[in-house]
Amino acid sequence: MAKRLKDFLSSKKKHLLKEFLDLAENKDSVFTLPALEGFLFGLAITPSQIMISEWMPVIFDGPLPYFENKKQAELLISNLFDSYNSYLSAFYNDKLSFPFDIENPTKEFLDELTDWSAGFLEALLLRPEIWHMGGKKMYEEYTEEINRIQTAFIVVYSFVDPETTKDFIIKALEEIEDEEDFYLSIYHSLPNAVETLKNYGLELAKNSSMDQYPPFL
């Protein structure tokens, strides 16, 4: 049965993250806990300086919620930073990996995986050009590696928002005959797509200036 294989955060960190998310006024747009975990995973593998002021509002789809007092604010924000650093540490020590076994999924598992993947995608979309999906890199000279990274990105995007890419992919790929083939193919391709993007991010990070990486908070 499908299940989570790895946790990169302690139960205490998760509890405090959930407490932080629960403060949001707009309950419909704030991240779920799995979405936040996917988001932190995606931030960690992105070898680019992303300021806190840029990525934190994404979690709440707007400004930070109100805190009951200064102590609560310091505790919850500090825990968020510590959680981010936990993912960074796992990434730079090559211990970060897709945390799910996806075989024989239940509906509850699919909901968790979809939320996780949506958060992961939100992080990638902060710097799409790194994944060759925006700006000048979208039109640079085609290479096998670029195709591999773009394909991995499209798999993640298609899992989160299948209606956007479904018709195009079914028409473009002969081996995908219908919608059922499309959904199964995207689902089973997701773990490898995440690993491909993670490994590419790690390769770029290791080739970058150590003055910038790792960007621990």
At 97, which CATH number?
1.20.120.740
Which stretch of DSSP H or E encloses residue 87? helix 70-92
- Which range (16-25, 59-68, 80-89, 118-127) has the least confidence? 59-68
* Residue predicted with more confidence, 52 or 35: 35
Residue 94 lies in a domain: yes
- Going by pLDDT thresholds of 50, 70 and 90, the confidence category of residue 27 is confident
| 127, 145 contact by CB (below 8 A) | no
For 93, the domain range is 9-206
Query: What value does the mean pLDDT take over residues 145-168?
Result: 95
Is the pTM of the predicted complex or chain greater than 0.85? yes
| 20, 80 contact by CB (below 8 A) | yes
Q: How far is CA 135 from the centre of its chain?
A: 20
CA distance from start to end of the chain: 37
String of b and e for 18-48 (b: at least 16 CB within 10 Å)? Answer: eebbebbeeeeebbbbbbbbbbbbbbbbbbb
Query: What value does the mean pLDDT take over residues 140-164?
Result: 91
Task: Tell me the average pLDDT of the chain.
Answer: 92
* Structure tokens belonging to residue 49: 């300086």
pLDDT tens column, 2-15 = 899 999 999 999 99
Residue 217 lies in a domain: no
